[in-house]
Amino acid sequence: MTIQYRFFTIPLKSAEEVETELNHFLRSQRILTVHREFVSRGENSYREVLSPEDFALFVKLRDWRKQAAEKEAVPVYTIFTNE
């Protein structure tokens, strides 16, 4: 028995081409299990990248985003992304 693994990295932006490839693969195989995971590319934290003033603003915006998302009952990323 051969176990076939295939790893896909789907970017948050312009994901259509990779999604098409992933869907083609999934349709052509007998899938036993799928593991989904958000993986950081090891980039520095926002605190390390932003100036103290910019990070303070980032925190305020992130907190507002969380409250707005809770009020609308939607995921925070639908309000706006960290970028």
Q: Is residue 69 part of a domain?
A: yes
Q: Is residue 51 part of a domain?
A: yes
Predicted confidence band at 64 (pLDDT cuts at 50, 70, 90)? very high
Q: Is residue 74 part of a domain?
A: yes
Predicted confidence band at 60 (pLDDT cuts at 50, 70, 90)? very high
CA 57 to CA 47: how far, in whole Å?
11
Q: Total domain count for the chain?
A: 1
User: What is the DSSP code (8-state) at residue 13?
Assistant: S
Mean pLDDT, the chain, whole residue set:
79
Domain limits for position 67: 16-78
Q: Is residue 83 part of a domain?
A: no
Q: Is residue 1 part of a domain?
A: no
pTM over 0.85: no
Residues 53-56: contacts with CB under 8 Å, at least 24 apart? none
Q: Is residue 26 part of a domain?
A: yes
Q: What is the pLDDT of residues 6-59, one digit of tens each?
A: 777 777 667 787 788 888 888 888 877 777 766 656 555 777 778 889 889 988
pLDDT, residue 45, reads 72
Q: Measuring CA to CA, which residue among 58, 41, 40 is closest to residue 49?
A: 58
Token pair for 46: 């926002």
